[in-house]
Structure 1
Amino acid sequence: MSDISEPADATASGPSGGLQSLDSALFLLAVLAECPGPAALSDLARRAGMPVSKVHRYLASFAQAGLVRQTAKSGKYDLGPQALKLGLAAMARQDFVNQTADRLPDLVAETGLTALLCVWGSHGPTVVRWERSANYIVTALGLGSTLHLLNSATGRVFLAFAPSSVIAEVLARDGTAWPGDVAALRDQTRADGYASVAGDLIPGLAAVGAPVLDWQGEAQAAVTLIGTDPAIAAPGAPAIAALTRFCAAQSVQRAG
């Protein structure tokens, strides 16, 4: 079932000042976008809850603007080239770092743990934001620090969710091949949706990391929670649930 709300059917100005006829037209376009493929006129009218004649008028206008195209063979309607351009422009302007960084204080407040935001740099996973909790942690890590690909929770997140070609380059540079245990670690992290360590990188510190994914399902950033209690990295820990929810909310949802 669609989660799009149908606007009121009117042509007068709505409460927000916009024309409700425009709201209805955009609603129809959203309905078309939710269809799994090209849709017939009658099907679109049914899905939108609009008269066929009204839907036809809107589609004709959209077609002139390049937002909709009609297939010659079946006569069904699909998104047009201008709709594709709009979608690509929106994806290109996704600001994963700033968007996620702005919300890090909320995650820290919820978990009581220090949070790191990392992106893939020229030497691997690199810390670009450090949001400290009230429970101060003394560590040599800081902004600009590069984390180990295999021994850190953050590194394991990128190992699992960054493009394989990028990971292979770093492993080769470090003299590490793709042995079975590395592949198994990657596959397990992918299956879990997060990675955790307890003292593997820094004795006395536990960490759990999860990816912020783009529309292709690749990690554009990783968020990691660190603390002194190894229980935060245990399966089923509340910190893991909070982190994965947070990262899912920042990730781009893929169609299908």
Structure 2
Amino acid sequence: MASPDDTPPPAGRRGIQSAGTAVDVLTAMARARGPVTLGDLARMTGMTASTLHRYLASFLEKGLVVQQGRSGAYDLGRLAVEIGLAALNRSRLVNDAADALPDLARATGTSALLSVWGPEGATIVRIERSERLVATALGLGTRLPLLTSATGQVFLAHLPDALSRSELTREQAAGVTGIKTPEAIRAAVRGNGYAWVDSQFLPGLAAIAAPILDWQGYPEATASLISTDPAITRPDSPVVAALKRFAADLGATSINPASGA
């Protein structure tokens, strides 16, 4: 007798249902803001606890998931992190931007950041520090707010609302407020081609940010520059021009689709 997994899929449908279910479970965990209990995961996925337990047991065995000893909550494991980093490292836009970031920092005399949108929002993945800039609390993995950081404002302006809505709601509920409304931020960033803040997120420091967009206008990454000189935020600043040129040159729209170059 054939097992359930041997049953041919319906016409027009491909793939293995159990694999799709596994992806749904891992996706729910990735979108959570930390470890989740079995009950939490059941509510998030609509699956029964017994079904989830079988998947989680396999994930634990392979290192995709870890379980915390005291609480019993589940979180993404080392293998999941390795897979995510491998995907990120294979992104041409992110790779090229990371390689070019040191030159941008030297040319502008600023500290340069490269950030991507991750499960917890705008997250720094590369930093090039300027000798002129005192040390800040920013580091790899630092999450940047949507409303009060230049990087966050770029993501807010260019991400689909469905992706940024939960983070925006969380910030507003936590009392994070910017000088502008979300609607005004979107209009300004899209109109100017960059975002800027002056001492709003980092006291004594000014920052500008511009998106590195793919073919569909999705922000694969955001490049940001930080300085103690507030003049870098002016529209006619050569630093703004350099940043916008950097982002435009790296974006997918600068590539000839016929040649792939």
Q: Give secondary structure in 2 for the equivalent of 1:117.
A: strand
Shift of 1:204: 0.2
The answer for the alignment partner of 2:240 in structure 1 is 240
Equivalent position amino acid for 1:140 in 2: A
* 1:136-167 per-position Cα deviation (integer Å, ceiling 9, x unaligned): 32211111100110100000000111121111
Q: Give secondary structure in 2 for the equivalent of 1:140.
A: coil
- Distance in structure 1 (CA, Å) of the matches to 2:243 and 2:126: 16
Contact 1:161 1:219 in 2 (8 A): yes
Equivalent position amino acid for 1:163 in 2: P
Number of equivalenced pairs: 163
Shift of 1:172: 2.3
- Distance in structure 2 (CA, Å) of the matches to 1:251 and 1:235: 21
Aligned-pair identity (%): 49
Shift of 1:173: 2.9
The answer for the alignment partner of 1:213 in structure 2 is 213
Shift of 1:240: 0.3
Shift of 1:109: 1.6
Match of 1:114 among 106, 111, 114: 111
Q: TM-score scaled to structure 1, two decimals?
A: 0.60
The answer for the alignment partner of 2:154 in structure 1 is 157
Match of 2:167 among 147, 166, 170: 170
Shift of 1:94: 4.4
Q: Give secondary structure in 1 for the equivalent of 2:220.
A: strand
Q: TM-score scaled to structure 2, two decimals?
A: 0.59
Unaligned segments of structure 2, at least 5 residues? 1-89
Contact 1:153 1:207 in 2 (8 A): yes
Contact 2:120 2:143 in 1 (8 A): yes
- Distance in structure 1 (CA, Å) of the matches to 2:105 and 2:182: 31
The answer for the alignment partner of 1:8 in structure 2 is none
Match of 2:134 among 137, 159, 168: 137
Alignment RMSD: 2.2
Equivalent position amino acid for 1:167 in 2: S
The answer for the alignment partner of 2:96 in structure 1 is 99
Shift of 1:189: 0.6
Tell me which stretches of 4 or more aligned residues in structure 1 moved more than 6 Å.
none
The answer for the alignment partner of 1:49 in structure 2 is none
Q: Give secondary structure in 1 for the equivalent of 2:154.
A: helix
Shift of 1:181: 2.3
Equivalent position amino acid for 1:217 in 2: G
The answer for the alignment partner of 2:250 in structure 1 is 250
Structure of greater Rg: 1
Contact 1:115 1:224 in 2 (8 A): yes
Q: Give secondary structure in 1 for the equivalent of 2:252.
A: coil
Shift of 1:175: 4.0
